[in-house]
Amino acid sequence: MPSVYHPQLNENTCIGGQEYHHLSRVLRVKPDDVILLNDGKGSLCKAVVKEIDKKCVRFELLEEATYHEPVSPFAIAFSLLKNKHDELIVEKCTELGCTEFYPFISAYSVRKGEDISRFERIALAAIKQCDNPWLPRVNPVYTLKEAIKQAKEQGYTPVFCSEHRPDIWLGDLMLSTNIKPCFFIGPEGGFNEAEIAYLEQEKLDQITISKLILRAETAAIAIAAQYVSLSKPG
């Protein structure tokens, strides 16, 4: 069933803009077709198409399902990557249920700035693809230290995916403490000595996620999948 983003399910019975284009030109919906509306705030709603004009698809709401906030929320903080490989992080981790993203710049980052609207568009497309009723928040691009600070202020526990802790795995960390994690993924080349020293100084958790050296985008997807598999459903 086609899934469409519509943030005000109970206020508007008309879909315009980019979603209109997708419905009318790509999916080619017709009157009486049933579509699935996603408000990105915990609700999915079936609706029937009533009318299609030059600027708007009008519909009638049929059946709404409301979902509680995720039982085991988690965030992903990632360094900006070359060739826009970080787009894959946002897409796949959204599909796995990530609730927040913290893009950041570290010593080995190859890009030094980013318009986060690109990440927001990718996250939006991903929730429609997998019927995830919660649209993750994409934060501005921070420095590494500022990303740590912001994650903490939002109630997350920073957890660094690092080859420097080959003996500590996610399961070990989750057995010892009840955390709402924000997993930090470094750039290709990892974190430099000064950054590692800062993590040690601040006593921030570090874990390993593989016996092999992973690309940054693979590491982000891997830790998201591991966390989902070890967490409560919901």
| Summary mean pLDDT of the chain | 91
82 Cβ contact partners less than 8 Å away, ≥ 6 residues apart: 110, 111, 188
- pLDDT of 1 > 70? The answer is no
Q: What is the pLDDT of residues 111-123, one digit of tens each?
A: 877 789 999 999 9
Angstrom distance (rounded) from CA 83 to CA 59: 40
Tell me the CATH number for domain 3-66.
2.40.240.20
Angstrom distance (rounded) from CA 195 to CA 179: 23
CATH superfamily, with its number, for domain 75-230: SPOUT methyltransferase, trefoil knot domain (3.40.1280.10)
pTM over cut 0.85: yes
Residues of the chain with CATH 3.40.1280.10: 75-230
Q: What is the pLDDT of residues 33-88, one digit of tens each?
A: 999 999 999 999 999 999 998 889 999 999 899 999 888 899 999 999 988 899 99
Burial class (CB in 10 A: 0-12, 13-18, 19+), 17: exposed
- pLDDT of 234 > 60? The answer is no
Supply the pLDDT for residue 57.
Answer: 92
- pLDDT of 18 > 90? The answer is no
Supply the pLDDT for residue 143.
Answer: 96
Distances (CA, A) of 59 to 36, 116, 129, 152, 203: 11, 31, 21, 42, 54
Q: What angle do CA 95, 98, 104 make, to 5 degrees?
A: 115
Supply the pLDDT for residue 195.
Answer: 95
